[in-house]
Amino acid sequence: MASSTREDRTENRRPLSSVRQGMQYIFLAVTFLIGLRHILPGESSRGGAFDAFCPFGGVETLWAYVTTGQTLKTTNLLSIAMLISVLGLSLLVGRAFCGWMCPIGTLQDMLTRWTRRLSGGKKNPRPGIKSKARFPIQVPQNIDRWLRYLKYLVLAGVLIASTMMVYPPLWNFCPARALFSFHLTTPLLWSVLITFVVTSMLVQRFWCKYLCPLGALLAVSNKIAPLRIVIDQERCTSCHRCEADCPVDIAPIPENMRSLECVQCLECLETCAISDTLDLKLG
C-alpha cells in the first residue's frame, strides 16, 4: 500500500503548485494595473503615488506617522493599511505573502523558470528531482549563510534612516518601484532594474533571500504562526526530495520546519512522495 502511494505521488502532477502560480499571476497583474493607473493623465495624485500601495512603505512611514501624525512623501495611510493586512496574514500563516502574493517574488520565479529552461533544464521537470540546468546557480552554503543576514541589515538601515528622512529611504533603490511604477526617471532606478533581473536569473529568489527588508520583517512570523507545516519524523525517509523544489533553498527541510527563510509555498508538501509525512497543522 505504502509503495503504491509513493508511486502515485511521484507523478508529474502538482495541482497546488498550479493554484499558487495562478494566484501569483493575479497579484502580479493587479500590481501591474496599479502601476499603470498612476501613469494615466490626471490619476497620479489620487490615492498617493505607486509607493502608497506597498506594504513596506508602511514600515518606512510608520515612525513619521507615530511621531508627527504625518506620513513620508509619496506614502499615505494606505501604506499602513497594507502593512497591517500583510502583518496580520503573516501572524496567522507565516511568510505566505512572500510565497503566494508578492509580485517581486513572482517575477523572480518567472525569471528562474526561463533561465532554467534556457540553460538546459526541462520544460516540465519531475517533482523532487534537482534540475541539471546550469542556471540559476547554487551559492556555496558557507557564503549563502552569511549573505542571508544582509536583509536584516537592510531592514535596520531603513528603520534608522526613516527617522530622519522626508522620502521613504528605499525610494531610490526599490525594485518594486523600478518594475511597476513605469517611471524610470533616474539612472539609479535603471541600475536597480537591471541588477534585479540579472541577479534573479543567476540566483533563485536573490532579492528574497539576501536583500528584502519586508521578508526580514516577516521572517519572525514563521516561528510563531499557528498555521504551519509539520513533519511526521517516523514516516520521513530523509530522501530530501522536498528540498529539490524549495524556492529559497532550505536544507535540510526536515530539521528546519520553522525556518525564518520559509515562504510557505507548500512545494515541499507537493513534492513529498510519502503521503501524510508533511502536513498543514493549526495550533
Contact residues for 244 (Cβ-Cβ < 8 A; gap 6+)? 127, 128, 129, 130, 131, 271
Instruction: Determine contact, residues 202/186, Cβ cutoff 8 Å.
Output: no
Pairing of the two strands 278-282 and 227-231: antiparallel
**In whole angstroms, what is the distance from residue 51 CA to residue 48 CA?**
7
Gap between the Cα atoms of 275 and 271, Å rounded = 10
Residue 194 Cβ, how far from another protein at the closest point, in Å?
Answer: 31
Backbone angles phi, psi at 257, to 5 degrees: -65, -25
Nearer Cβ to another protein, position 89 or 250?
A: 89
Residue appearing with cell numbers 496599479: 34
Work out which of 50, 56, 100, 196 binds another protein, going by CB under 8 A: 100
Shortest distance, CB of residue 19 to another protein, whole angstroms? 5
- Interface segment toward another protein; rule CB under 8 A; list 13-21, 102-110, 121-129, 239-247: 13-21
Q: Does 283 bind another protein (CB under 8 A)?
A: yes
97 binds another protein (CB under 8 A): yes
Residue with Cβ nearer another protein (74 or 115):
74
3-state helix, strand, coil in the chain (%, to 5): 55, 5, 40
Shortest CB 157 distance to another protein, Å: 25
CA distance 102 to 90: 13
Q: Which is nearer to another protein, 20 or 209 (CB)?
A: 20
Cβ proximity to another protein: between 41 and 283 the closer is 283
Task: Confirm if 25 and 106 have CB atoms less than 8 A apart.
Answer: yes
Applying CB under 8 A, what is the total number of residues that bind another protein?
Answer: 35
Does the footprint of another protein cover residue 92 (CB under 8 A)? yes
**Which listed residue (1, 2, 66, 282) binds another protein by CB under 8 A?**
282
Interacting residues of 4 by C-beta distance below 8 A, sequence separation 6+? none
Closer residue to another protein (CB): 109 or 201: 109
The mark string for 128-167 relative to another protein (x by CB under 8 A, - otherwise) is ----------------------------------------
Q: Binding to another protein by residue 93, rule CB under 8 A? A: yes
**CB closer to another protein out of 31 and 200:** 31
Q: Which of residues 14-73 bind another protein (CB under 8 A)?
A: 15-16, 19-20, 23, 46-48, 52
Asked whether 98 and 263 are in contact (CB, 8 A), the reply is yes
Residue count of the chain: 283
Q: By C-beta, is 243 or 270 nearer to another protein? A: 270
Residue ranges in 218-257 that form contacts with another protein under rule CB under 8 A? 227
76 contacts another protein (rule: CB under 8 A)? yes
Helix and strand numbers, DSSP H then E, in the chain = 15, 2
Half-sphere exposure of 66 (CA within 13 A, CB side): 9
**Which residues make up the interface to another protein (CB under 8 A)?**
15-16, 19-20, 23, 46-48, 52, 76-78, 80-82, 84-89, 92-93, 96-97, 100-101, 227, 266, 269, 279-283
